Amino acid sequence: MKAPTLRPHRTAPPERGTDFVPITEVARNEAPRAGIDPDTSLSWLRRAMPVMRAHQGIFLTSLILSFVGLVLTVQIPNLLNHAINNSIEHHTVPLSHYVWWIVGLGLVGAVSGYFARLFLFETAYDIEYDLRNIIYEHLTRMSFSFYDRVQSGQLISRANSDIRSVQMYMTFAPLILVQCSIAIVAFIFMLSINVVLAFIAMATMPFVYLTGVKMRKSMFPVSWIIQARLAEVATIVDENVNGVRVVKSFAAEQQQLRALSGAAERVQWGYIKDADLRARFTPLVQNLPQVGLALVLLFGGYMVIHGTLGIGAILAFNAYLLMLQAPFMMLGMLIMMGQRAAASADRIYEILDEQPTVTDKVDAVDLVGCTGDVRFNHVDFAYNQNAERLVLADFDLHISPGETVALVGRTGAGKSTVARLLTRFYDVKHGSIEIGDRDIRDLTLASLRANVGVVLDEPFLFSVSVRDNIAYGKPSASFEDIEAAARAAGAHEFISRLVDGYDTVVGERGYTLSGGQRQRIAIARTLLVNPPIMVLDDATSAIDVQVEQEIHAGLRVQMQGRTTLIIAHRLSTISLADRVILLDQQKIVADGTHAELLKTTPLYAEVLAQAAEFEQEADAAASDEERTSRDGNGNGLRDLLDSVRGGGQR
């Protein structure tokens, strides 16, 4: 194997005046112009108004053009009235005069309508863009404790369908109200024709309003239920897609179909209830204006028969009332949209109103000139801050610059928790963690995590190329550095055999690659960033022994001058460490070299024996070739531990 050319980290004293310079890519997208008002006492619409006001120029232009188009449309029945009276009945004005006026008004209305809709949709998509960025930016700031308890399907639903509901109401509700304002304009024109008949025509409007209020109160809880149950369906689908291998391995497809069917039936009930309410109220909202039309025909016809009203006037009244039908039909839709948007907004605000628990202090400083000196001082920690049982209790550990330390312990002893606390994924309950002479809570999160590289036991890969996955933490890295990191991680050879080499796009979560291949890419991804402190959380658990030895050869070079914390189970991984720490009962029970602990601490031998048993179980599922290689190593380790444990008992 070609020697890796990636330069290992070297410790250096901090330089005065040195500033932290992030190596990750800076976002180039346009930031939202405004955010959601944090005042929870306001209504949901008033909280969202800053986003609306950020686009008020183009939005108001759209509404004004829409209103102009409506006013022009309202002119046509009045022209029709004059045309009948002046051109058809009395022949005082040429009919072509009114024809050209109607054609002209129609053309101008069409142009204004075009630009009104164009600007309206542009505003709608701008608002949707802002809302998506606001909620996603908030999600990126949330702490790990938030994601531990919130289902991903719920977040996906709120970031998609709920945002769309809010956006549609915020943009289309004002448009519908403008279109409903045609009623006022039409009423003014009707008053100019005949005051009594105008009031008769609008006699049903108070009943329309009362029906709308009743409809709104009835639909709000149903709208909330629908959005919540849609999120439940999204959660089930998301878990089945991500856990498809588990589902198929247990032949649980029918079980999951039943679960999805039950969730879909609950959504169906909500939609049917919603349809039932709309079926009750919408016909009233839409058809009450037609009662006004009947009243106009009754009383207007009486006036025409007795010569107190012209035929053109009654035709104009009928045209105005027909114009009012469409806005009042949309009024029912507006009420429905409003209740769904209110429910969706409440669900979105549930996320936005929750604040991260791990944040930068106001006076936080950047970590620069990191030498890799790490110290845990009397640390107490529990994932649930109110829990009485601690995961770590009075935990003390000092790792000197450039030292490699292995953490060993039974499952659940808190090994991975130590790594998560060092990167401040969670904050300690009591005590402190220091890098150099600073508490990590006094450091900015960006600079802390830039100096502490982590390779997890379950590596996550993005659905992009292998090259982009390795360069994830350093997008500007050259191909030579990417390849050097891959060589150091033992990944270059299998990457070269892929169809497109480093340009091969991996599948969802990297599942087109084996577990060992994903782990090697994850190691390369961390090595490329070249952090002064590195944490390997059982990072070679899915790699066979022969490949693991090659990776260790590269890691030994990379660990020179770098502080390394290894969460270890295998004896081969432990051999990389200068010192071994044994965890049990939430604290350190032994500290020394591997050989020293084997001689003095029986529990250490038991833990390694337990790890060997797990490794043998994994071997049973491996290929014959891998099984032969790994069984030999596992049995040898077991024999060694049995002899040591027996000697201790003697």
For residue 62, the model assigns a pLDDT of: 92
| Mean pLDDT computed over 484-509 | 87
Arithmetic mean of pLDDT, 538-555: 66
Q: What is the pLDDT, as a whole number, of residue 6?
A: 53
Q: Quickly count: other Cβ atoms within 10 Å of residue 272's Cβ.
A: 11
Structure tokens at 475: 């997008």
Q: What is the maximum alpha-carbon separation in the chain?
A: 127
Confidence of residue 622 (pLDDT cuts 50, 70, 90): very low
Residue 517 has a pLDDT of 85
> Over the chain, what is the mean pLDDT?
79
Which of these, 205, 144, 216, lies nearest to 180 by C-alpha position?
Answer: 205
Q: Residue 72 — pLDDT band, cuts 50, 70, 90?
A: confident
Residue 135 token pair: 């909620």
Structure tokens at 342: 């209110």
* Interacting residues of 61 by C-beta distance below 8 A, sequence separation 6+: 115, 119
* High-pLDDT (> 90) share of the chain, %: 10
Structure confidence at residue 442 as a pLDDT band (50, 70, 90) = very high
Tell me the average pLDDT across 35-51. 89
Of the ranges 270-284, 358-372, 530-544, which is most confident? 358-372
Give the rounded percent of residues in the chain with a pLDDT score beyond 70.
83
Task: Name the pLDDT band for 11 (thresholds 50, 70, 90).
Answer: very low
The confidence score (pLDDT) of residue 4 equals 46
Q: C-alpha distances in angstroms, 224 versus 37, 272, 342, 407?
A: 22, 14, 8, 48
Q: What interhelical angle do 95-141 and 44-53 show, nearest 10?
A: 110
pLDDT tens digits, 214-244 = 777 777 778 778 877 877 787 777 777 666 6
Question: What average pLDDT does range 494-499 have in this prediction?
Answer: 90
Mean pLDDT in residue range 247-273: 79
Kindly state the helix (H) or strand (E) to which residue 538 belongs, with its residue range.
none
pTM higher than 0.75 for the full model?
Answer: no
Backbone phi and psi for residue 434, each to the nearest 5 degrees, phi listed first: -120, 140
Confidence of residue 245 (pLDDT cuts 50, 70, 90): low
How far apart CA 70 and CA 182 sit, in angstroms, is 7
Phi and psi at 248, nearest 5°, equal -70, -35
Q: What is the pLDDT of residues 146-194, one digit of tens each?
A: 888 887 777 887 888 888 889 888 988 888 888 777 777 777 878 888 8
**pLDDT at position 99:** 86
3-state SS of 91-109 is CCCCHHHHHHHHHHHHHHH
pLDDT for residue 379: 92
Q: Which residues 6+ apart lie within 8 Å of 45 measured at CB?
A: 170, 345
Span 598-612, mean pLDDT? 83
Question: Which pLDDT band holds residue 450 (cuts at 50, 70, 90)?
Answer: confident
- Contact between 391 and 381 under an 8 Å Cβ cutoff? The reply is yes
The C-alpha angle 411, 412, 417, rounded to 5 degrees, equals 120
Residues 636, 648: Cα–Cα separation, whole Å:
18
